[in-house]
Amino acid sequence: MATMTTTPEAVQTKTPITLTEPATVKVREIMATQDPLPAGLRIGVVGGGCSGFQYSMSFENQSGMMDKVFSFDGLKVFVDATSLMYLNGCVVDYVETLEAAGFKFENPNTKSTCGCGSSFSV
């Protein structure tokens, strides 16, 4: 097992955040439609929403100075240091049901969530 380093481009192997296989497959599927092809996925926490914080996901072309970079089956995931505090232990999954499809965050750090499921408080 490799150890975590502070180098922005160093790819981490022991991760405080987990992307499930269905989530990784869906991200790759969506990434393949982008032109130019992004370097990876950014997952973060931003202020706002009904409960104070909300999750964010976007494509990135490179990591930032304060990012930790993780790899899930070759997919690079960038997380800034501040968001990582709120996402430690979080599992990101992709779920498809008859009613809806989307990414689901299972975060052990949340004290409460709102009805929409994309906003939380700590």
Task: Tell me yes or no: is domain 15-110 CATH 3.40.50.1820.
Answer: no
Q: In what order do the strands lie in the sheet with 40-47?
A: 11-12, 67-72, 75-80, 40-47, 53-60, 119-121, 112-113
- The full length of the chain comes to 122
Question: What integer pLDDT is reported at residue 117 of this predicted model?
Answer: 55
DSSP structure class, residue 30: H
Which residue would you say has higher pLDDT here, 27 or 9?
27
Question: What integer pLDDT is reported at residue 39 of this predicted model?
Answer: 96
Q: What helix, strand, coil percent values describe the chain, rounded to 5? A: 15, 40, 45
Residue 82 identity (one-letter amino acid): T
Q: How far apart are the first and last CA of the chain?
A: 31
Mean of pLDDT values over 28-34: 96
Of the candidate ranges 57-61, 69-73, 97-101, the one whose mean pLDDT is the lowest: 97-101
Domain edges within the chain: 15-110
% residues pLDDT > 70 (the chain): 77
**40-67 per-position pLDDT tens digit:** 999 999 887 676 788 999 999 998 899 9
Model confidence band, residue 114 (pLDDT cutoffs 50, 70, 90): low
Q: Is 50 helix (H, G, I), strand (E, B) or coil?
A: coil
Question: What integer pLDDT is reported at residue 10 of this predicted model?
Answer: 46
Model confidence band, residue 110 (pLDDT cutoffs 50, 70, 90): confident
